[in-house]
Amino acid sequence: MAWRAVFQCCRGMVECSMTKKKKKNSGNPGRTSDVQIVMPSKALKAVVRLLEEIDDEAHDAARRSFPDEYSPLFNFDQGVLERGINTLKSVRILVEHGHWEMAHSLLRQLLELLANMEFLAQMPDRTKATLQYVKYGLLQKTTEQILTMKYDEESGRPIDRERLAKLEAFQQGPTFDEFKAKTKDGSLKFVDSWCRKNMKSLCEASANKLRLSQYELLYSPWSEQVHASPGALIDSMFRNQGTDWQKLVIEGDEVRIHEAVSMAITLFLELRRFLPAIDAPDHEKANDWLEKAKPKQAVAA
């Protein structure tokens, strides 16, 4: 297909996604003098503020749940919660500045945390499964340090060779035998996850019927934004048409920001259910947050 035909097709798809009729612009739509600053609506600001409210409640819950004596399981749940809180906070920082597309990678992190914690909760012995999860994390940290040192060496920086040798010996030793698997050629490699399941398998194992749909959304169409694939660039290439194009872009972004915030809240609140060492949020309050965060309209295609 010729370039002109491709561009006309893409432009037609983008224009169809605009919900309002655009007027013909006789001037250059890209001129600085034509740009009008459109502030987010009060309704959207209220939705984004929910993220801060939920963040505050989670911190309070962690403080209330702090045990009198040392508890590895509390430390584990608190670590997962801390990661979830920081991810939620990062989503808020991004969407407050209109960067909904960059928030999609964070939504995937929340989904991965949730799917793993849900699967861990389904194991016959959660304590044993938690240890397995932590041990795999240690394997990942060891691999990270090895690869970092090798990169430093290749880029001409000095490294501690003795430490590198110890790390490699530790990685290949018996500590991580449960995560080793034979390849087709007979060599050994480490499995890709602590439970030998990928994200799709984890989502398929979920008791929540929406989990697989969440996976398909975040790992397919919304994944375009995570990887900056061609689909992520189409709108910005063809949306500056007509005198009111900036206003239409803002309106479309508001819908997408609302959708991202709603997904973040949904995933985070469900994650809280699988952290038994941390006080759960009040049921009525959680339902209120979910209702307030619910998008009022679908995202345009």
Average of pLDDT values for 158-165? 96
The confidence score (pLDDT) of residue 29 equals 46
* 100 compared with 212, residue with greater pLDDT: 212
pLDDT tens profile 111-153: 999 999 999 999 999 999 999 999 999 999 999 999 999 999 9
The confidence score (pLDDT) of residue 232 equals 56
Average of pLDDT values for 10-36? 46
Angle between helix 230-238 and 3-17 (nearest 10): 80
> Residue 188: which pLDDT band, with cuts at 50, 70 and 90?
confident
Does pLDDT of 22 surpass 70?
Answer: no
pLDDT tens profile 216-243: 998 876 555 555 556 555 566 556 566 6
Burial class (CB in 10 A: 0-12, 13-18, 19+), 147: exposed
**d(C-alpha 157, C-alpha 149), whole Å:** 9
The confidence score (pLDDT) of residue 250 equals 64
* Dihedral sign for Cα atoms in the order 105, 110, 285, 49: negative
Angle between helix 245-273 and 72-96 (nearest 10): 170
The confidence score (pLDDT) of residue 187 equals 85
Instruction: Enter the pTM of the model.
Output: 0.80
Q: Quick one: which of 51, 28, 17 has its CA closest to 253?
A: 17
> Residue 295: which pLDDT band, with cuts at 50, 70 and 90?
confident
* 42 compared with 138, residue with greater pLDDT: 138
pLDDT tens profile 78-97: 999 999 999 999 999 999 98
